[in-house]
Amino acid sequence: MSSSSKRQAKTPPTIIDLDHVLIAIAQCIPVAKDVMAFLAALPASARSRPLTALYQLLQDPRRHVLATESEPLDALWPLLRLDVITPAATSLVRDAMPVIPSASAGTLSAARPSDLDALEWLELWSTKLTHYKHVEDDAVYDRSQLCSVLRQCHKLQVVDTSSAIDVPSSIAFFEAVTTPLHGARPLTITSSQPAAIFRNLLVSMPRSIRHGCGKIELIGSGMRDEDASALAAALRHTASPHGAILDFSDVRLSVQSYLALGDALTTCRRVSIELPRIRSEVFKSEAAKRHIRYRYGRTSRRLRCLVLQSPMDGA
C-alpha cells in the first residue's frame, strides 16, 4: 500500500473526539439531570475543561447554589443564575462558560472571582445574559459603566429596572437595553416605578422604535390616562424600520385614551400597540370617524387584546 493510500485510510474522528459537537449536544438538552447523565456517559478523557466544569457543578448543586434556593440544580441549568451561586462555584462557572446556554444576573453583590470586580464579572457574561434584574444594594458601581456593559448584552429578553433609584437611572438603563443591536428579539421590561419615572420610560420609547426595537412588553406599573396622553404625544410621526409592537397588559385607561393612542398611530409607520380588549360602541364609532386602524387578537401570552395599528404596519 502506498503512503498516499495509508493517509486516506486514516480513521476519521468520532463524535467523542469533537469537543464542539459535544458542547452543542449538551446545549440542546433542556433538563439539568439529563445533561448530567449525558456528561456521566462520556469518558473522562472526552470531557474538555468546560464540560468537566459543568459536570462538577451539576454533581454537587447544593455546594454551588445558595441555600435559599429550593431547587439548586435548576439554578445552574439551562439558565445559570449568577446571583445565587456560591463563592465555591465561581471558578467552575467561569470554566463552564462556553457550554452554558444562557445566564441571568441581578445583584452586583453576588459571588464572583476575586480577580474581577462586579462590572468586569458582568461584562464577562455579556454574550450569555438573557435576563437582568437591577438591584440597588450595598454594591458600589458607576452607572455609566453599568450601562456600557448592558449595551453589550444583545441577547437580553427580560429586564427588571424596578429598583432603579431615580429618573436618570431608569432612562439610562432603558436606553442601554434597547439599542439597534438589541432589537432583533422581543424584550420584556418590568418596571414597577413611581408614576414620574414610568412616564419618562414611555416617552423614551419612540427612540427605541426608531432604532429598530421589535417588541417591548412593559409590565408592572399600570398605565393610566395621563401616561397614555404622554405616550401619544411622544409617538407622533414615529417610524419603525422593521415593525414594532408595544405591549401593555396592565392598564387603567378610559375609552378616550384608547382613541388618543389610536390617533397618534395614524401619523406613525409600522408601529402597533397591544392593549387589553375593550368592547365599546363609542370606541368603534370614533375609531371609524378618525380612521383609526385596529383589530382584535391575542398577545404572546395568549391574552385577548385590542391591537391599535399605524397605517403601514408592514405586512
Q: Is the pLDDT of residue 156 over 60?
A: yes
Indicate if the alpha-carbon torsion angle 115, 117, 120, 121 is positive or negative.
Answer: positive
**Quick one: cell of 60?**
454537587
315 pLDDT tier (thresholds 50, 70, 90): very low
Mean of the per-residue pLDDT values of the chain: 88
List pLDDT tens digits, range 30-52: 999 999 999 999 999 999 999 99
DSSP string, 196-225: HHHHHHHHTHHHHHHTT--EEEEESS-EEH
- The confidence score (pLDDT) of residue 197 equals 74
Of the ranges 82-96, 157-171, 234-248, which one carries the lowest mean pLDDT score? 157-171
Task: Check if the beta carbon of residue 293 is closer than 8 Å to that of residue 265.
Answer: yes
- The confidence score (pLDDT) of residue 166 equals 72
First to last CA, the chain: 64
Q: Is the pLDDT of residue 106 over 90?
A: no
- The confidence score (pLDDT) of residue 4 equals 53
Report the share of the chain in percent with pLDDT over 90.
Answer: 63
Closest CA to 79 of 35, 138, 22, 135: 35
- For the chain, domains (ranges, CATH) are 74-309 (3.80.10.10)
Query: Which residues, including other chains, have CB under 8 Å from residue 115's CB and lie 6 or more apart?
Result: none
- The confidence score (pLDDT) of residue 198 equals 80
- The confidence score (pLDDT) of residue 314 equals 45
Distance separating alpha carbons of residues 221 and 82, to the nearest angstrom = 27
pTM here is 0.83
Task: Check if the beta carbon of residue 208 is closer than 8 Å to that of residue 178.
Answer: yes
Distance separating alpha carbons of residues 85 and 70, to the nearest angstrom = 13
164 pLDDT tier (thresholds 50, 70, 90): low
Distance separating alpha carbons of residues 277 and 238, to the nearest angstrom = 24
List pLDDT tens digits, range 288-304: 999 999 999 887 666 78
Closest CA to 85 of 46, 111, 107: 111
- The confidence score (pLDDT) of residue 217 equals 87
Q: What is the mean pLDDT of residues 273-289?
A: 95
Q: Is the pLDDT of residue 213 over 50?
A: yes
**Quick one: cell of 79?**
439558565
Task: Check if the beta carbon of residue 56 is closer than 8 Å to that of residue 89.
Answer: no
Task: Check if the beta carbon of residue 110 is closer than 8 Å to that of residue 124.
Answer: no
Q: Is the pLDDT of residue 7 over 80?
A: no
- The confidence score (pLDDT) of residue 302 equals 63
Task: Please name the residue that has the C-alpha cell 375609552.
Answer: 255
